[in-house]
Amino acid sequence: MLTDEQREQARQIFRARGYDGPLRIGRLTALAGDDERIFVVPGVVLAALPEPALTADLQQAFGRKVWIVAEGPAWPETEPLG
């Protein structure tokens, strides 16, 4: 998954874009591979985020495809960002 340094970097990027709450990451499946990162946030938070800019910042930082999705039954396999 993410190193401690990457976790802190993700928190800083979210903070810079206006969100300083809890973050979860979706567990990668064999289909997704290691070239994606999935950040899971509450639905009301997702609606308020500057999502395209935030996604671009995260993709640039991690050099991977990034998805920011709302919590829900579609994402049962998550873990705290830490």
For residue 56, give its domain range: 4-80
Instruction: Compute the radius of gyration of the chain from its Cα atoms.
Output: 12
Query: What's the CATH number where 30 sits?
Result: 3.30.70
Would you call 63 helix, strand, or coil by DSSP?
A: coil
Q: pLDDT at position 30, please?
A: 52
Q: Distance between terminal CA atoms of the chain?
A: 12
Tens digits of pLDDT across the chain (82 residues): 678 999 999 999 999 999 999 999 987 665 555 678 899 999 999 999 998 999 999 999 999 899 999 998 888 888 898 7
Task: Give the DSSP H/E element, type plus range, for residue 40.
Answer: strand 36-41
How many independent structural domains does the chain possess?
1
